[in-house]
Structure formats: C-alpha cells, structure tokens
Amino acid sequence: MSHRNFIKSKLVTAGTALVVLISTLATVLPAWASLGGDTASIRADQLHMQGSRTTKAAESYTVHEIQAATGTVVREFLSPEGKVFAVAWNGPRLPDLRQLLGSYFEPYRAAIQSRSGVRMARRPVVIDQPGLVVQIGGHIGAFSGRAYVPEMLPSSVRGEDLQ
C-alpha cells in the first residue's frame, strides 16, 4: 500500500469514528432547550428555531433572547446557577411548547386535559400549580406567553415580571 493510500484509509476511518461519536452524543444529549435546562440547551434552542440570539444581563439572572426565523421572539431566563427557570415568548406563531417546556410539558398537557368540557380554542391558558406556572394568550398572528417554575425563581424575581 502506498503512503498516500495509507493516509487516505486512516482519514476515512477517523471520519467514520467522528460520525459514530456525533450520532452517539446526539442520542444522549437533550435535543432542545427547556425549562430547567442549561446554557447548552439554549444554544440547541437557537439552532432548532433557526434564530439569532442576544444576551442581556439583569440584576439576578441573564436573559437569552432568540429571534426565531418565524418572527417569534423567545426569551429564556438563566439563573446564576446556570438553569433556565423561565421562558417567555411573543410573536405571530406559538413556539414549540414541547421543546420549551421539556420535562414540564407532560404536567402542562395533563393540566390542559383536566379541563374537560372547557372550550380552550379562544381562551387564554392559565395554569398555576405549585411546580409550574404557564400563561398563554393572543390570537393568530399575535401570541404571547410565559412559563416558569416558582421554586426556581431567584429570590428577587417575581413571575409577573418575566416578559
């Protein structure tokens, strides 16, 4: 085998190993950002929404604002401990709530389903449970909402102030 063919075969082997590593990590790491996630999950959210991100420091947290390709703006509130304690959004389309709420999506869905008989289509959604608060309102072309975990709020932050 020539030196050139030897190098070529090693590059192919290394490339295959890299693909396997990336595939493995993709199944182990969270695929989206979520309530309770961390900084890496915010970057994943930005990619999922095909958006641009800016960061603003507040007194006791950091706000990561993602301008999604759809025109919706999503803000993720990061505590000093590095956890997303709240998300808020506004824009022409609802964001992917399964993505934004992460492990909190199932309690959200259960709360919505427990409202049997209540017509939800044109009413604001208000869920106020000890472990999760979700508020959604608006209409086609103009939605807004927020979700937060009360026990994760920094001591100087009130849920009503998160927009």
The tens digit of pLDDT for each residue in 110-150 reads 999 887 655 555 678 999 999 999 999 998 899 999 999 99
- Whether 163 is covered by a domain: the verdict is no
57 and 87 share a domain?
yes
Distance (Å, whole) CA 50 – CA 98: 17
20 and 40 share a domain?
no
Output the six-digit token pair for 11.
């590059």
- Whether 160 is covered by a domain: the verdict is no
24 and 54 share a domain?
no
In total, the chain counts a number of residues equal to 163
pLDDT in tens, 48-107: 787 889 899 988 999 999 898 899 999 999 999 999 999 999 999 999 899 889 899 999
pLDDT in tens, 12-26: 444 433 333 333 333
The residue assigned the tokens 């849920």 is 159
For 131, the domain range is 31-155
| Alpha helix ranges (H) inside 29-162 | 39-49, 97-101, 105-113
Distance (Å, whole) CA 107 – CA 47: 26
74 and 91 share a domain?
yes
Output the six-digit token pair for 27.
């199944």
47 and 14 share a domain?
no
77 and 126 share a domain?
yes
DSSP element (H, E) containing 19? helix 3-28
- Whether 66 is covered by a domain: the verdict is yes
Overall number of domains in the chain: 2
